[in-house]
Amino acid sequence: GQVFKLEDYRPNDYLIPETSLTFRLSPEATRVTAELTVERRDGVAASVPLVLDGDGLTLSRIAIDGRTLAPMDFFATPDQLTITTPPAAPRFQLLIETELAPAHNEALMGLYRSSNVYCTQCEAEGFRRITYFLDRPDILSVYTVRIEARRHEAPLLLSNGNPAGSGELADGWHYAVWHDPFPKPSYLFALVAGALGKVADSFITLSGRKVDLGIYVEPGKEPLAGYAMDALKRSMKWDEEAFGREYDLDVFNIVAVSDFNMGAMENKGLNIFNDKYVLADQETATDADFANIEAIIAHEYFHNWTGNRITCRDWFQLCLKEGLTVFRDHEFSADQRSRAVKRIAEVRTLRAHQFPEDQGPLAHPVRPRRYREINNFYTATVYEKGSEVVRMIRTILGAETFRAGMDLYFQRHDGEAATIEDFIKVFEDVSGRDLSQFSLWYHQAGTPNLTISSTHNAAAQEFTLEIEQSVPPTPSESRKRLMHIPLAFSLVGADCKAIAYNGVEGASVEDGVIHIRKRRHMVRFSGVAERPAMSLNRGFSAPVTLSVEQKADDQFFLAGHDDDTFSRWQAFNTLLTDSLISAFRQVLGGKQPNFASRLTDLAGKIAGDETLEPAYRALALALPSEADIARDIGKNIDPDAILSAREALTAAIAETNSEIFSRLYDRLADKDAFSPDAASAGRRALRNILLDYLSLLPGSAALAARHFQSATNMTDRAAALTVLALRHRGSPETVKALADFGAKYATDPLVMDKWFQIQASVPGPQTIHAVRALTGHPAFSMANPNRVRSLVGTFSSANQTGFHRADGEGYRFFVETVLQVEKRNPQLAARLATALRSWRSLEPARQAKAREALLSIANVENLSADLRDIVERTLA
Ligand code: DPP
Ligand code: ZN
């Protein structure tokens, strides 16, 4: 396939300042009439052909300035339309008519049907499946859209911008016109038509304008959209307060659809959402679902400025809108909830998803330099690491200067398609700093490592840190340049307070941050009488790994006392990880793993520490996952031994603390009415993780079964079902609970996703059989991305022992399923296929089987570009 390269970018010879679209909707034969105002750029010869993108299109009519084109004046294939001899005039009207069959579009890109609702997905390159166009983000156009449909089939007709007329047509048809005054790239185009229920509200902006808000859902589901609406209004207000950003149209609509490849899409004024991220109430949604809805509603809304008003020049700049918008939604959630807890959750996610990506064959810079299929670059690196890079800019500049830079960015680039260079420049301009070394974070892949050791000279009252940075090689980047790494730190004294020092040399140190720029730094603090404990990378100031020589006593001290909540969690988590890794080695050596009692005791102390918020305690007690442990071990992975090590530590913690845990478990029982707020969710999270520990004690299936039966909300019910399924596989209590749950929610697909997910997570070699059987369940469908991700995605990405079964049976199922999904939906298949990205870190026997599986996909002829790209890069 073709490789697209950043350095090949050049502006197009033609522009399309205005776009007028008319849709005559029908499931089997929709007619799309596009009337484009085309403009040749100054200095471009009239003989230069106009080449438009298409993807599987059928052209039925073409005219320029009202005259039908002669066959020799154009050349059309399903994937391209070339106007070989454009008019001499610099501006002309091009009319293109295409015919589509949305009912047969199972790739869910372009115009398709989801449960009888017409909807679109155009990012990144779906618009070219609707009409021929300059389908690239630097072509900004003002859109007017007319939609015609049979009224009974589609009483609701929506597109971007503001409503601009509607009326009746002959034979039971009707129409609506929408006009979007803000020039936008084609990837932000959207259309929705169907019979949907509406939740209406309004918002008064900063300057006093009233905006009509609508959330559209499947009729009957309106009561489930209340939380999303509330989150939307809070997002609108927050963006005004935190970034001075006001909404700009008269209406803002959100539509929830049940078949969607992504989480949601920020189309101008008409966000389209995976219904999983809109619909929620206590009966059907967990606290995690509520938090995701809040975050994603905010994310898509924030794109209105970071993405839509200022968009990307080309797809290499994807992180310009995504990394920045993730950073903004993280800040929003931190302000709405608990900042410390939010930060810990973010870092857990980054480490779970981005670190393995960065450390494997799919590693790429936050701003990639080449791609074969852009759909495969909506990654944890672009999104999550991209957000961390923006966070580091704020750390380096300070909050005020950062905000000044953002203000300048909005002022300078509003209405433009911008680049990462533009973004960095505004921060250089407001701060007077040189960020050229820093900008390597965008251009260089790989997770930097810092090796740190320290010495204290009591006589000289000197404390010295020896710091060395290295960036491991990644595909096609074997030699790395030195990075600018902002490392937040504190020297913690025995009284738990930061030790003051009266001088520092060897690196620039500002506001508690060491700026590491060279390969090695000897950072010498003077006036330090007492030997401090090192609290490093506080708040996770840089997305790096640390190899720190630190006394276990110091580590325990920080885990119990660090005044930075994140660092305190980090210290405890490091202790857990270290002991899990040595337990893993003990298991491999045929020994019974053993754990230091001060570690298991500390778990009990944290659980019972009423000065800590329950949500924090729950996060601290959640042991590193099997995948986390595998990532930190790095090579020669035997998932079965990791599971044994992890189960042994869980049991040791439960046995040591059974009394504290069970008292606390009883005390946390919720007597108040349900509320999805962060504090209530935190109490449920703590109680549910205690249940998980307690369930390892004798006779505890009954406890979990009681928890399940008495649950008054989905968080508790799903948590209990998980404990039953994972800890009491096959017990009568488990069999009954699974059956009850499956029967009770049989007609609620989003809840059934949880049921699939839980069963796909059960560790051990037998789970493959359950998963295979569930693909035949009436609630399952290979055509629906949420179903596929819940069952197949969970099994292959989140079930280490089940998927990596020693005999390769998990991989055989993987190959069959990926290929089956690919026939309909290549994008979804490519996403599933990333499950094997860390195959080289497995022990040799599994490695060989995984490679065989990947090769058997690569050897299939006519593979989609999406899947071929992932499989070939994974094997390379
Ligand atoms: N819809 C995806 C997101 O918002 C892609 N833009 O991240
Ligand atoms: Zn986004």
CA-nearest residue, atom 6 of ligand 1:
265
Kindly report, residue by residue over 405-415, the tens digit of the pLDDT. 999 999 999 99
Partners of 311 in the beta sheet? 417
CA-nearest residue, atom 1 of ligand 1:
265
Domains 311-443 and 449-542 share a fold: no
Q: Ligand 1 pocket: which of 109, 119, 120, 123 to mutate (most atoms <8 Å of CB)? A: 123
Kindly report, residue by residue over 162-178, the tens digit of the pLDDT. 999 999 999 999 999 99
pLDDT above 70 coverage of the chain, percent: 100
Is residue 799 over pLDDT 80? yes
Interval between CA 289 and ligand 2 midpoint (Å): 18
Q: How far is CA 299 from CA 264, 562, 730, in A?
A: 9, 32, 41
Residues 6+ apart with CB under 8 A from 327: 386, 387, 390, 391
Considering only CA atoms, give the Rg of the chain. 28
* Residue 262 Cβ contacting ligand 1 at under 6 Å: yes
Interval between CA 556 and ligand 1 midpoint (Å): 41
Q: Which atom of ligand 1 is nearest to the CA of 307?
A: 6
Q: Which atom of ligand 1 is nearest to the CA of 296?
A: 4
* Residue 322 Cβ contacting ligand 1 at under 6 Å: yes
pLDDT above 90 coverage of the chain, percent: 99
Q: Which atom of ligand 1 is nearest to the CA of 300?
A: 4
| Helix, strand, coil % in the chain, rounded to nearest 5 | 45, 20, 30
CA-nearest residue, atom 5 of ligand 1:
265
Kindly report, residue by residue over 108-126, the tens digit of the pLDDT. 999 999 999 999 999 999 9
Residue from 300, 322, 647, 733 carrying the catalytic annotation: 300
Average confidence (pLDDT) over 569-573: 98
The whole-number pLDDT of residue 725 equals 98
pLDDT band at 828 (very low <50, low <70, confident <90, very high): very high
Asked, as a colleague might, if the bond just before 124 is cis with ω within 30 of 0, I would say yes
Q: What is the Cα–Cα distance from 806 to 812, expressed in whole angstroms?
A: 12
Q: Which atom of ligand 1 is nearest to the CA of 321?
A: 6
Neighbours of ion ligand 2 (CB under 5 A): 322, 325
218 is a catalytic site residue:
no
With a threshold of 0.90, tell me whether the complex ipTM lies above it: yes
CATH architecture of 8-276: Sandwich (2.60)
- Residue 274's closest CA among 256, 289, 298? 256
Average confidence (pLDDT) over 19-27: 99
Is residue 1 over pLDDT 90? no
Interval between CA 265 and ligand 2 midpoint (Å): 7
Is residue 670 over pLDDT 90? no
Is residue 489 over pLDDT 80? yes
The whole-number pLDDT of residue 671 equals 85
* Residue 266 Cβ contacting ligand 1 at under 6 Å: yes
Q: Which two tokens stand for residue 53?
A: 């993108």
Class of domain 449-542: mainly beta
Average confidence (pLDDT) over 688-696: 97
The whole-number pLDDT of residue 696 equals 94
Instruction: Using a cut of 0.95, tell me whether the model's pTM lies above it.
Output: yes
CATH code of the region 311-443: 1.10.390.10
Identify whether the C-beta of residue 454 lies closer than 8 Å to the C-beta of residue 463: yes
User: What's the first-to-final CA gap in the chain, in angstroms?
Assistant: 15
Average confidence (pLDDT) over 484-494: 98
Mean pLDDT of the chain: 98
The whole-number pLDDT of residue 271 equals 99
Residue-range domain boundaries for the chain: 8-276, 311-443, 449-542, 657-730
Place of tokens 């905010």: 298
Place of tokens 């589901």: 221
Kindly report, residue by residue over 589-641, the tens digit of the pLDDT. 999 999 999 999 999 999 999 999 999 999 999 999 999 999 999 999 999 99
pLDDT band at 699 (very low <50, low <70, confident <90, very high): confident
Is residue 749 over pLDDT 90? yes
